[in-house]
Structure 1
Amino acid sequence: MSSVWSNQPFKALYTVFFVLKLVVLVPLVSLRYSLRAARSSPEWSLRVCVLAVFTREFFDYYARTRSHGLAAVQAAHVKANSQFSLAEVADPSLYSALLAPGAAKPAPVGGLWFPGPPTPETDLRHEKVVLHFPGGAFVLAFGTPTSGKDVAGVMTRHLKATRTFVAQYRLSTDDSTRFPAALQDLVTFYCHILSLGLDPKNVILSGDSAAGNLVIALLRYLEDLRSPRLPLPGGAMLWSPWVHVTAEAGRDYAGCRNSDKDVLTASVLQWGADAYLPRGKPTADTLPFISPLHHPFRTSVPLFINAGGSEAFFDSAKDFAREMAEVRGNRIRFHATDLSPHNLLMSHKGLGMNHQMEVAAKDAYSFFN
Structure 2
Amino acid sequence: MARSFADDDAIPNDWRTRQPGSAIWIIVAIFRSFLEAFFYSIYYIPSSLRQSPTWTYRQACMTRLFERVFHIITEIGFTQSLSLEPEKLGDRWVTIDPAPASAYCGDFTSDTIKPETVGGTWYPKLPLKQSLLEEQGLVVLAFHSGSLLWLTGRPEDSEPTATLLNNSLGNNTCSFWLQYRLAGGNNPTPYPGAMQDALTAYIYLTKEMGISPSRIVLAGDSTGSTIAVALLRYLASIKEVQGHELAVLPPPKACLLFSPSVEYCFEGDPEAVSANRNIKTDYVEPRMMAWGARAIAPPGIVRLDDPYISPALHPFATPVPIFVQAGGAEVLSDSIRGFANAMRAVPGNSVEHFEVPDVPHDVYVAGTLLGWPKEQEEIHEAAARFVLQ
Fold conserved (TM > 0.5)?
Answer: yes
Q: What per-residue deviation string (whole Å, max 9, x for no partner) do you get for residues 188-233 of structure 1?
A: 1111121201121111000010111111111001100124426321
Q: Structure 1 residue 216 and structure 2 residue 236: aligned?
A: no
Q: Structure 1 residue 229 and structure 2 residue 242: aligned?
A: no
Q: Structure 1 residue 67 and structure 2 residue 87: aligned?
A: no
Moved more, 200-209 or 175-184: 175-184
Give the match's secondary structure for 1:42: coil
Distance across 2 between alignment mates of 1:188 and 1:304? 23
Residue 308 (structure 1) aligns with: 327
Q: Structure 1 residue 97 and structure 2 residue 106: aligned?
A: yes
Q: Structure 1 residue 118 and structure 2 residue 140: aligned?
A: no
Residue 198 (structure 2) aligns with: 186
Residue 27 (structure 1) aligns with: 38
Corresponding letter in the other structure for 1:70: S
Conservation of the 8 A alpha-carbon contact between 1:105 and 1:176: no
Corresponding letter in the other structure for 2:217: I
Q: Structure 1 residue 334 and structure 2 residue 345: aligned?
A: no
Residue 9 (structure 1) aligns with: 20
Conservation of the 8 A alpha-carbon contact between 1:103 and 1:176: no
**Residue in structure 2 matching 1:41, options 41, 52, 55:** 52
Moved more, 86-95 or 147-156: 147-156
Conservation of the 8 A alpha-carbon contact between 1:76 and 1:144: no
* Counterparts of residues 108-257 of structure 1 (less than 5 Å): 108-124=117-133, 126-160=136-170, 162-173=173-184, 177-194=189-206, 195-226=208-239, 227-229=244-246, 231=249, 232-246=251-265, 248-257=268-277
Corresponding letter in the other structure for 2:153: G
Corresponding letter in the other structure for 1:327: V
Conservation of the 8 A alpha-carbon contact between 1:147 and 1:346: no
Conservation of the 8 A alpha-carbon contact between 1:68 and 1:141: no
Q: What per-residue deviation string (whole Å, max 9, x for no partner) do you get for residues 311-352 of structure 1?
A: 010111011101100110000000011121000111111123
Residue 272 (structure 1) aligns with: 292
Give the match's secondary structure for 1:123: helix
* Counterparts of residues 76-95 of structure 1 (less than 5 Å): 77-95=86-104
Give the match's secondary structure for 2:121: strand
Give the match's secondary structure for 2:355: strand
Q: Structure 1 residue 293 and structure 2 residue 304: aligned?
A: no
Give the match's secondary structure for 1:102: coil
Moved more, 326-335 or 14-23: 14-23
Higher relative contact order (CA 8 A, sep 6+): 2
Corresponding letter in the other structure for 2:128: T
Corresponding letter in the other structure for 2:195: L
Distance across 2 between alignment mates of 1:153 and 1:176? 30
Using the TM superposition, give the Cα deviation of residue 143 of structure 1 relative to its aligned residue in structure 2, in angstroms: 2.1
Give the match's secondary structure for 1:237: strand
**What is the percent sequence identity of the aligned residues?**
28
CA distance 1:40–1:76, shift in 2 (3 Å): farther
**Residue in structure 1 matching 2:63, options 43, 52, 63:** 52
Distance across 2 between alignment mates of 1:143 and 1:311? 23
CA distance 1:75–1:352, shift in 2 (3 Å): farther
Using the TM superposition, give the Cα deviation of residue 287 of structure 1 relative to its aligned residue in structure 2, in angstroms: 0.9
Conservation of the 8 A alpha-carbon contact between 1:308 and 1:344: yes
Conservation of the 8 A alpha-carbon contact between 1:106 and 1:184: yes
Residue 6 (structure 2) aligns with: none
Corresponding letter in the other structure for 1:208: D
CA distance 1:249–1:109, shift in 2 (3 Å): farther
